[in-house]
Amino acid sequence: MLNNYDFIIVGGGVVGLATAYKLQLKFPENSIAILEKEIKIGKHQTGRNSGVMHSGIYYKPESYKAKNCYNGLNQLVEFAKKNDVLHDICGKIIVATSTKEIPVLETIYKRGIKNKTAGICYLNSEEIKKKEPFIEGVKAIWVPTAGIIDYVGLCTTFVNKIVEINSNSKLFLSCEVKKIDSHKEVSTLKTNIGNFNASKIIFCTGLQSDRVAKKDNLKLDMQIVGFRGDYYELKPEALHKIKNLVYPVPDPKFPFLGVHFTRMIDGGIECGPNAVFTFKREGYNKTSFSLKDTFEAFAFKGTWKLFGKHWRKGIDEYKRAFSKRLFVKELQKMMPSISVNDVQPVRAGVRAQAIDYFGNMVDDFKIEKHYNNIHVINAPSPAATSCLAIADEIVNFVLK
């Protein structure tokens, strides 16, 4: 089977589908094929994140992350309102539980001001209690623009909008790219269901982004390493203990935001995630293992340098991963009254984190071009919030 399209998007996650939607808006007469290797869209990072719409307060001013989060959040809220995607701008607090965390909290606040994070203000301990009665802190930042959204529902809406604009565009599920033949005019993808041709191909493949790029003969100075994040949820009798979103002051050495409380779009409350090295890129159980993934991670010198720098942190995270008591102890820093009986395990996700040869976590978005192909190599959080802004960047790449 030979399929000819004007554009091909590889990857049916939120970034890939947002890109397909923006391309279809820009080129309504052009046909787009979306190739997704799973049996449904949003099966990995998109459907396994915390469902938060981030405000952009944390990120280094003028970085890709900061610019795209601010722009992306505004676009995302507008799109959700217009297209009835389930969402809620509920706000969140970032809580310092001790005076030694206040300098980092104040740095975040200053970044928020530079990043135009609307409405942020400090809260004292009494004001924290008014927002979240069960949370204890010495100082906090109130972030009114943060919220929650149904990201998988958002993806379904993107697909529906694309097909409405052009009935020749199509989503192909259970379609895995095996080989890439890139040329200046037309490139070919060989998949398990046939060959696809297009003059422009965009790869948004998340946990597999580096491997797919190598299939396209791109030389990378980084590699994707998976970090699993485990979630617990509050039991029904403990749901009253959290109203909206509550985050700790993050460790500035890591791109993770720490174990936090999140009100979900279905009304539940989740706690997490932690961040532990995973022995399988798409493994969502604590004992998931892939010989290929493990060998590849350990054969990369950046992985060992990362472990060498942060082995103490890694051990602490692993202890929490296998101990409910230690996980809850971390939550008790913000909510002393929470107990092991208040929570139960619910799910896990795996974050695609790019690591360079020196063992540094690549903190910003990274997009590479090869012939007429575009590869989204690194799209860490807040990529979901920023999906429509990232899509605009990719459309600009296409136009150039």
Q: Which residues pair with 361 in a beta bridge?
A: 355
Q: Are 92 and 247 in contact (CB under 8 A)?
A: yes
pLDDT in tens, 354-394: 999 999 988 888 899 988 899 999 998 899 999 999 999 99
The count of other CB atoms within 10 Å of the CB of residue 282 is 19
pLDDT in tens, 20-35: 999 999 999 999 999 9
Q: Are 79 and 17 in contact (CB under 8 A)?
A: no
pLDDT in tens, 82-97: 999 999 999 999 999 9
pLDDT in tens, 78-137: 999 999 999 999 999 999 999 999 999 999 999 999 999 999 999 999 999 999 999 999
pLDDT in tens, 192-218: 999 999 999 999 999 999 999 999 999
The two structure tokens encoding residue 255: 């791109």
| CATH for the 2-46+152-221+363-399 domain, from 3.40.50.300, 3.40.50.10800, 3.40.50.1360, 3.50.50.60 | 3.50.50.60
Q: Return the pLDDT at 310.
A: 85
> Average pLDDT of the chain?
94
The two structure tokens encoding residue 65: 């992350």
Distance CA 392, CA 400 (A): 12
Closest CA to 149 of 382, 389, 391: 382
- Residue that the structure tokens 């896990």 belong to: 348
Query: Which CATH number describes the domain made up of 223-356?
Result: 3.30.9
Burial of 359 (0-12, 13-18, 19+ CB in 10 A): middle
What average pLDDT does this structure show over 325-354? 95
Distance CA 264, CA 149 (A): 8
- The band of 345, judged by pLDDT with boundaries at 50, 70 and 90, is very high
The reply to whether omega before 61 is within 30° of 0 (cis) is no
Distance CA 24, CA 232 (A): 39
Show me where the domains of the chain are located. Answer: 2-46+152-221+363-399, 92-144, 223-356
Share of the chain above pLDDT 70, in %: 99
Q: Are 209 and 224 in contact (CB under 8 A)?
A: yes
Domains 2-46+152-221+363-399 and 223-356 share a fold: no
Q: Which residues pair with 237 in a beta bridge?
A: none
pLDDT at 256 over 80: no
Q: Return the pLDDT at 1.
A: 59
Q: Work out whether the CA dihedral 19, 23, 24, 25 comes out positive or negative.
A: positive
| The length of the chain, given as a count of residues | 400
